[in-house]
Structure 1
Amino acid sequence: MRRRQQPPLPKRHGLDPARLRLPEDGEWTTIRDHLVERLPRVDPARIDELLRAGGIVDLEGPIAPDAPYVPGGAVWFHRDLPDEAEVPFEIGIVHRDERLLVIDKPHFLSTIPRGQHILQTALVRLRRDLDLPDLVPAHRLDRVTAGLVMFIVDPAARGAYQTMFHRRVVHKEYEAVAPFDPALELPRTVVSRIVKERQVLKAYEEPGEPNAETRIELLDQRDGLGRYRLLPATGRTHQLRLHMNGLGIPILGDDFYPELTDKPVDDYTRPLQLLACALEFTDPLTGDPRRFETARTLQAWDDLAGWNGTAQIG
């Protein structure tokens, strides 16, 4: 296996620098000319500033502002960080050993850096706070979903644990709070075809070969609300939210289904009432059975008075 090239810049905030490979063909005179064309969203003045400050490097060191273009070469630099609203919730530690870290992620915290969420993500916080620069996630959880996420501490163990999730041999359990419909027969298994297009926020179901399966069970009901156990056999984008919405019982706090609502990114009221509550698997390295459970609960079930006004069917 080809060894990954070590970047010539150190991590910043626990993140590796961005790497850009310089195409073999092209008529750019300088690396600076190529970067201006390659990075249209970055102000050319900012590229000049980084070059003058030695913030763009190759394997030989900082690149001069007039450095000639080198076909097939590569450059590294740290991207500018977006302005982020602080996510004012703590990450719970469920388990930690020499190989694995299992956390209880709060609502509104992204698992990994993406888009406008960089520093305010579980991965960056954990790398910094626990001094684990090589930490990587074994899987991901949506920003608006709370609960268990497993990270890999030992780089040598990454393949074994990530493969478990790719092969879908990890048993996952979720809980959700949604309206209670006495006419809905449960438990049941929902099977459908889910499509998620790039650059489109919402996923959708369509006719065709099924690619998503969820077992849905009713655990309890009171005051017009139900507490449900959701057992996904697959992991399509927004699968649980779509399947609950398709039954006419959308999960409370869902800003996507059935209708997309415009909610400020720093509005932490009324979180999605979906919780990843258990992970269970056979450890691929030791053969031992392992099960992790959340310590979190869902706000809507604990405090029905503030939520039951939304418990409407349809």
Structure 2
Amino acid sequence: MNLIGLDEPFTTSEIFEIIKASKSFKSSGPDAITMEFYKKFWPLIALRLEGKVAFITGGASGIGECTAKLFARHHARVVVADIQDDKGRALCVALGPAVASYVHCDVTSKSDMERAVDAAVARYGKLDIMFSNAGIMGTTGKGVVDSEKPEIERVMAANVTGAFLAIKHAARVMAPARHGSIVITASNASVIAPTMAGITAHAYLCSKNAVVGLMRSTAAELGRYGIRVNCVSPHGVATPLGMGATGMNEEEMEALLERSANLKGVRLKAEDVAAAVAYLGGDEARYVSGVNLLVDGGFSITKSVV
């Protein structure tokens, strides 16, 4: 449970302990104070994802990991899909077997994605949220003359084909239920044109523009089934993926991004992106579809627009 205005949501048992400790009620146990509790505190509680089942590709680290943790805190059941088996299993153990489960899934493989989604539905009975987050950066710092075809194909396979397969198999199981939310990680590179050749890998920029186009076309198609499709497009984030691409540690990368940021006084964290995904995935955004939600502190409005 999450008490509005507090950074960290409380579990139900923690809230009961707080109430008992406050001496607001004379009850000695949760059952006796349940009615009083709801009368007093229900308006303050946001169970944003209670009862929902979410599937997260690339869920073992970075933005995916933070999103899995946030979804779990908001009482969703989470399927973490990744190729980083040790990290994925460790995350699910930490979240608890009643909350999270791990499945190995290469998002470029049709059979892997089909099997993983079917396993999620078999375990939990439905699928409410698909977060297509898995992706790669590719080689940075190369101009178009020095870029090679295999590199373009590798990045497009992970970022675009992976998103396509996630949408395809999510829609397959969501359409009969006439509801669902699909969120895809794009990038603010989808709306800005780098001024220096190669500052963002051409393959990466192509893939993120393609993902936004895919989101729009599938949002138009799937709306008739009650399925919403949106993108979340962050600025640079000091995740393992970002740090690996830049060769920087977390502090170095965040300092670099802060110097060029439009919004001063705050550093973008993976948790900020996760919060945007939770909004798009949940019922608060029940009439939001076809949107590329920028989480970049206004960076893109100060740069050249594609």
Q: Please give the range of the TM-score, normalised by the shorter of the 2 chains.
A: under 0.3
Query: Which structure features the higher share of strand residues?
Result: 1
Bigger share in helix? 2
> RCO (CA 8 Å, sep 6+): is it higher in 1 or 2?
2
**Considering only CA atoms, is the larger Rg found in Structure 1 or Structure 2?**
1
